[in-house]
C-alpha cells in the first residue's frame, strides 16, 4: 500500500512537470547519416505546451542532390518528389533555426529521438550556408533525448532501440513512422512514458539536463566500445554531445 502511494505521488509529480513546461520536438529525414555531407529532405517541428499542441510545422526539402534509393525507401521521399514538392534548403534552415533559437531564448526543452544527429546536421548545414553554427548563434536550450534516456535508465533490456522499438516497449500508439511529423508525435509520447517511469528525470534542473545526458552518452559509448573490442566489432567514435 505504501509503495503504491509513493508511485502515485511520483506519477503526479511527473505529470505536473510535463504540464508545467514547453517542449519543441524536432526531427529530420535525410539523404544519409553523415552529418557533414548529407542533407535534410524533410523537417518537422512540434511545439507542446501543457500537453497541448500549440504549433506544428512540416515540409519536404529539395536537397539539390540525388536521394539514395536506400534512404528513399525508409522515408518515402524520392529525388523526383523532393524536386516537385520540396522547398529550398535555405528556407527550411531559416524556419528550423528560428524555431530552435526561440526555444532556447524561452527556456523550452528541445526533444528528439537521437536528437544529437538532427542538431548536428542542422549545425553543419548552418555553417555551410551561413558560416556559423548553432552555439555561435546562441543556442543553449535544454535537451531531452529519448534514446539517451532510455539507454541510461534501462541499460540491460535486450532488443533494438529504434523509435518503433521504443514505442512498442512503452506501449505508445504509433502512426506512419519515418514521416518526420509523425515521428515527432511518437517521440513526445515516448518521452512522457519515460518520464513517468523514471522519476529521476524530473530532478534534473534545465541548466544541467543537457550536461547530465552528455555524461550518460559518454558512459554508454565507453561501455559499448569495451563490448565491441571483445567481440571484434567496430568501435563508436567519441565526440561531443549533443552537437558534434
The pLDDT value recorded for residue 51 is: 86
Question: What is the number of domains present in the chain?
Answer: 1
**pLDDT exceeds 50 at position 137:** yes
Q: Are strands 109-112 and 40-49 parallel, antiparallel or unpaired?
A: unpaired
Cell numbers at 200, concatenated = 529521476
Q: 117 lies in which domain range?
A: 10-230
- For the chain, the 3-state helix, strand and coil shares in percent, each to the nearest 5, are 55, 15, 30
Residue 199's pLDDT band (cuts 50, 70, 90): confident
Q: Looking at the domain assignment, is residue 187 inside a domain? A: yes
**pLDDT exceeds 70 at position 5:** no
CATH number, domain of 198, equals 3.30.420.10
The pLDDT value recorded for residue 13 is: 54
Q: Looking at the domain assignment, is residue 239 inside a domain? A: no
**pLDDT exceeds 80 at position 152:** yes
Q: Looking at the domain assignment, is residue 99 inside a domain? A: yes
pLDDT digits (tens, 9 = 90+) for 90-99: 999 999 999 9
Per-residue pLDDT, averaged over 153-172, amounts to: 96
Residue 155's SS3 state is coil
The pLDDT value recorded for residue 11 is: 44
Residue 61's SS3 state is strand
Residue 4's pLDDT band (cuts 50, 70, 90): very low
Cβ within 8 Å of residue 240, ≥6 positions away: 214
pLDDT digits (tens, 9 = 90+) for 26-61: 999 999 999 999 999 999 999 999 889 999 999 999
**pLDDT exceeds 90 at position 7:** no
Amino acid at each position: 500500500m505504501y509503495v503504491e502511494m509513493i508511485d502515485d505521488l511520483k506519477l503526479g509529480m511527473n505529470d505536473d512537470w510535463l504540464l508545467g513546461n514547453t517542449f519543441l520536438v524536432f526531427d529530420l529525414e535525410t539523404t544519409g547519416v553523415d552529418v557533414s555531407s548529407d542533407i535534410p529532405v524533410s523537417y518537422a517541428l512540434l511545439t507542446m505546451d501543457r500537453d497541448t499542441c500549440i504549433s506544428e510545422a512540416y515540409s519536404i526539402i529539395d536537397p539539390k542532390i540525388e536521394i539514395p534509393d536506400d534512404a528513399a525507401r525508409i522515408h518515402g521521399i524520392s529525388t523526383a518528389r523532393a524536386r516537385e514538392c520540396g522547398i529550398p534548403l535555405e528556407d527550411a534552415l531559416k524556419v528550423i533555426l528560428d524555431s530552435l533559437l526561440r526555444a532556447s531564448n524561452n527556456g523550452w526543452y528541445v526533444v528528439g529521438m537521437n536528437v544529437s544527429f538532427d542538431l548536428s546536421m542542422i549545425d553543419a548545414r548552418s555553417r555551410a550556408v551561413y558560416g556559423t553554427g548553432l552555439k555561435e548563434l546562441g543556442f543553449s536550450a535544454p535537451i531531452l533525448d529519448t534514446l539517451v534516456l532510455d539507454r541510461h535508465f534501462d541499460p540491460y533490456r535486450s532488443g533494438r532501440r529504434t523509435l518503433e522499438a521504443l514505442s512498442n516497449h512503452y506501449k505508445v500508439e504509433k502512426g506512419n513512422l519515418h514521416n518526420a511529423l509523425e515521428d515527432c508525435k511518437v517521440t513526445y509520447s515516448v518521452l512522457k512514458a519515460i518520464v513517468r517511469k523514471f522519476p529521476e528525470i524530473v530532478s534534473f534542473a534545465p541548466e544541467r539536463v543537457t550536461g547530465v545526458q552528455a555524461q550518460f552518452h559518454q558512459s554508454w559509448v565507453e561501455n559499448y566500445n569495451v563490448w565491441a573490442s571483445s567481440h571484434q566489432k567496430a568501435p563508436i567514435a567519441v565526440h561531443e554531445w549533443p552537437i558534434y
